[in-house]
Each structure stands twice: as C-alpha cells, then as structure tokens.
Structure 1
C-alpha cells in the first residue's frame, strides 16, 4: 500500500513537469519513455535479468495502451488546464471498479460503492469551476483527456495481468521499451521537432523519466499485493495534488467550489484506503 501511495504521489507531478518545458507534447512523451526504458532495462540487467521475448510478449498489451495514453494525455496537458486534464483523468475508477469486479472477482464493499460517486461529484465540481476560475481549458484538450483516462485504465488492467508472469522491474523495462518504440513513428508523423535548444527542457524530461518511471514501478509492484479497487481509488488523489501544484507554481486560480471538490475527492479516497 505504501508503494502504491508513493507511486500516486509521484504521478501527481507529471502534469507540472509536462507544462514546464519547451518541448511539444509528443516529443516530450517520447523522450520521457526513452529515458524510462533505458534506466529500467539497465537496472534489470544489473539484477541479472534479460529483456527477452518472454518479457516483451507479456508486456505488449501494457506498452500499446500506454502509448495511446501518453500521446493523448501529454497533448491534453498542453492544450487544456492541468486541473481539467487531471480531474477528467481521475474518473478511472468508473472503469477500474468494473474491471476489478468482473475480471478479477474482487468484492466491492458498500464503502467503496458510496465513496466512488462522492469522489466523482468532487471531480465534477472542480471541473465545472474552471470557467469561474479563469482557466484556459479547451474542448479538444478535454476530449483527449477522456481518451487518456480510458487508455490508462486499460494500462492498469493489462499491468495486473502481466504481473502474474513478470516481476515489477521486468514489466517496467518491457512495456516502456515497447511504448518508446511505438511513440517514435507517432512523433515523426506529427512533424513536431524531436530536439530543442533549451537545456532546461532536457533536464525536465530526464527528471520526468525518473519520477514517472519510479511511479509506474511502485504502482506495478503493488499490483501483486493491493486490490485493484484500492489502486483505482488512490489514483483519484493525484488530480487534487496536481491542482495544488498548478495553483502554487503556475498561479492557476481556484475558486472555493474547486477547493471543495478537491477536498471531497481526497476524503473519499482516504476513507476507502484506510479501510483497506
């Protein structure tokens, strides 16, 4: 559970790092995946493991759906507000609780059933408050965020299945390598420049490779020990944290209603996680 919570905390910094650089969205996603694949494969090698056909085969589904997530989420962050993208992204439990019940036969308690809609109401309040808060959201960005949340839910489900066959580090090296390879033609077709002259942007991309990579490693490690219902609820705290980081660093103004919405999300998640 501690690994899952640490991973979600690291996830919450992703949108801030994406915004704070000169890369276009797709090249940034590509370099972030390349960096994550390099250190994960290197760590696997040092541990005596191999990035072989078995690892890549079991990592394929996760790598494919995460490529969709990276392409849409990173673009959404660049075209809408951090609050919008993260609040929409936090609706993942709608899909994950269904998967937990139907695919993995997890028992969904009354507490989870009650807390989930309360948390979603909090998200809606936060999202609807953006017009009053002077946000610069866009419909296109919000639609991309919806696609991103569906694909991220698919990634978590694929990860849970893959962890039946692979260690967390094997899976990290496998899916990130596949996703980096798939992202390259997407970037080339987009015609966005792969390189920028700003050294600070490269540093940010490197930091993102490490922090996001560790976030995925921690969450995927927890997949063997923590119910998917708990991971899905924990994932809902990332939006609240990201909104706070955006408020603090980018001066994205928040109304009282948005603060209330974020509080509902955090309290609802805390109730479920403490129960677990």
Structure 2
C-alpha cells in the first residue's frame, strides 16, 4: 500500500504540473521547431548538471540500450506534442493523447507479460468516454496532420512508460536531460531559435527549466511503484485540467459537455485509485 500511495502521489502531482503544457506552448507564440529546441535545451541545462553523479553515470553505462531508447522516446514525445499543438487545436491533441493508456496497457500485456487488471481496462474505457464528451464535435478532418502527431506522441508515451516499468533501476533524471538534448538537436535544423519575441523566451524558459523537468521526473518515477497502464491512465486528467487552465487564464468558457465529461473523468480516476490501493492492501487476519 505504501508503494502504491507513493506512486499515486507522484503521478498525480506530475500530471497537474504537466497540464500547463498546452497553455504554455500557446503563450510562447513561436513556431513548433523553435519551441522544441528551446524547451529541450532548457531541460538539458536544468537537469544535466544533476545527471553527472556516479549513480547516474553507472546507470547509463550498465544499461545503454534501454537508456538510449527511453531518452529518444522522451524526445519524440516532446516533438510530436508541440507539433500537434501547433498544427491543430489543443482539444484535438489532448483527446488523442488520452489513448496513451491503451498503448501502455497493450505494450505491458504483450511485451512485459504483466497482467492488466480489469478495473484498469474499465477505467480506461469510461475515462476515455468522458474525454470524448468533453471535446464532442471538436475533431475536424482538416486537422489530420496535427492529429497524427498527437497519436504518435501518445504511442511514444505509452512505450516509454512501459520501458521504464521494465527497467525500474534506471536513473530517471539523466534520461530526461538526455531526452531534452536529443529533442533540441533533432529540431535545430528546422528551428529559428534567435528570432523570437522576448515574451516567448519567458514562456519557453518556464517550460524547459521548471515545468517539464519537474513533471517528467515525477511521472517517470511513478513507474517504479505502479504499472505503466495505470500511470498512463492519469494522462486523462491532463485533458480536463488543461481545459480548466485555458478557461481561467485565457477566458475561454467551456461548454456544458466539458463540465460533464470532466466530472466523469475525475470520478473515474478517483474510483480507480481507491480500488487500486484497496486491492494492494493485505488482508488482516
């Protein structure tokens, strides 16, 4: 129970911090590749110095393949998410990103041979229904490019959570720093990093130095204590919270469907978390 509670606390806190991502991308008011470059570089600068410890270096040395794969997946998650937000509406992105639990559950089941609890499958289904209620009618055929980027981000997210679940001993911090550096290097040929407005750099610094490192570190560490499918399930909460921040800070009033669907997601997540804790509590004699 103690490990489960710790995992739930880590993933919930991480998702709350991460939920500002779409808003900050919008506030940056820059092209997607420049956002990816600065966000990745700032993440590397923020965490790189802390990744030089003997433990971190040993982790990279002893398991180079899973470390490299995880860092690349983190870079792809960031790239695809930002490009998705640039090419289509945030509502489209978060709806499609909510499929990450399905990817994680499938990958966990078939590659790790880890049984996915029925309650998790049911929660994924109900919460996904809530997300589609929130954004009913927001999907457009003209946004197919952005939708594809969002789907690729969801797939990479599910794969990374499953990989980290398979290798719990890997130090998470150097992976996040390396992933940021990879994202910056991949985006550099298409970026215009020094042609942005001063206000853009403020939003990018907040994303890269604070928001993304903290959120990613918390969420990735949650895979030490919870199955990847359960961790990915909480990304559905980001969809609801992201809408609320836009409502509060950009004065975009949500439709009634947003309120009803959001309530369904929150209730589902709370019920699933309670059932997970109870299922892991040993029965008293």
Q: TM-score range by the shorter chain?
A: 0.7 to 0.9
* In 1: Cα distance, 2:88 partner to 2:11 partner: 27
Contact 1:129 1:258 in 2 (8 A): no
CA distance in 2, matches of 1:179, 1:56: 18
2:123–2:272 contact (8 Å) kept in structure 1: yes
Alignment match of 1:150 (pick from 155, 159, 167): 155
Q: CA RMSD in A?
A: 2.5
In the superposition, relative to structure 1, how do residues 35 and 161 fare at CA in structure 2: closer, same or farther (>3 Å)?
Answer: farther
Q: Distance in 2 between matches of 1:5 and 1:120?
A: 18
- Alpha-carbon shift at residue 57 of structure 1 (Å): 4.2
Deviations 1:29-52 (A, max 9, x none): 11111111112111223x555657
TM-score by length of structure 1 reads 0.86
Deviations 1:106-132 (A, max 9, x none): 33233222222111111222232437x
Q: Report whether the alignment pairs 1:73 with 2:81.
A: yes
Q: How does 1:97-116 map to 2 (within 5 A)?
A: 97-116=105-124
Summarize the alignment of residues 205-216 of structure 1 with structure 2, pairs less than 5 Å apart.
Answer: 205-209=204-208, 210-216=210-216
2:12, 2:51 → 1: CA distance?
23
Structure 1 unaligned spans of 5+: none
Q: Provide the TM-score with structure 2 as the length reference.
A: 0.83
CA contact under 8 A between 2:134 and 2:261: conserved in structure 1? yes
Take 2:56 and 2:109, find their aligned partners in 1: how far apart are those partners?
Answer: 34
CA distance in structure 1 between the aligned counterparts of 2:255 and 2:55, rounded to whole angstroms: 50
Matched, 1:199 2:198: yes
CA shift, 1:156, in A, is: 2.0
Structure 1 match to 2:272: 272
The corresponding residue for 1:247 is: 247
Residue in structure 2 matched with residue 228 of structure 1 by the alignment: 228
Residue in 2 that maps onto 1:21: 28
Q: Secondary structure at the match of 2:30?
A: coil
Whether the 8 Å CA contact 1:22–1:196 is kept in 2: the answer is no
Q: CA deviation at 1:56?
A: 5.4
Structure 1 range deviating more: 244-253 or 170-179: 170-179
Would the aligned equivalents of 2:24 and 2:203 in 1 still touch at CA under 8 Å? yes
1:21 Cα offset (Å): 1.4
Unaligned stretches of 5+ residues in structure 2:
1-6, 277-285
Q: Match of 1:43?
A: 50
- Counterparts of 1:61 and 1:258, CA distance in 2: 36
Q: Tell me the equivalent position of 1:174.
A: 178
Distance 1:65 1:206 in 2: 22
> Is the alpha carbon distance of 1:203 and 1:153 closer, same or farther for their aligned partners in structure 2, counting shifts above 3 Å?
same
Query: Could you report, residue by residue, the CA deviation over 1:112-162 in whole angstroms, capped at 9, with x for unpaired residues?
Result: 22222111111222232437xxx9x83332232122211222222233344
Q: Using the alignment, how far apart are the partners of 2:161 and 2:256 within structure 1?
A: 33
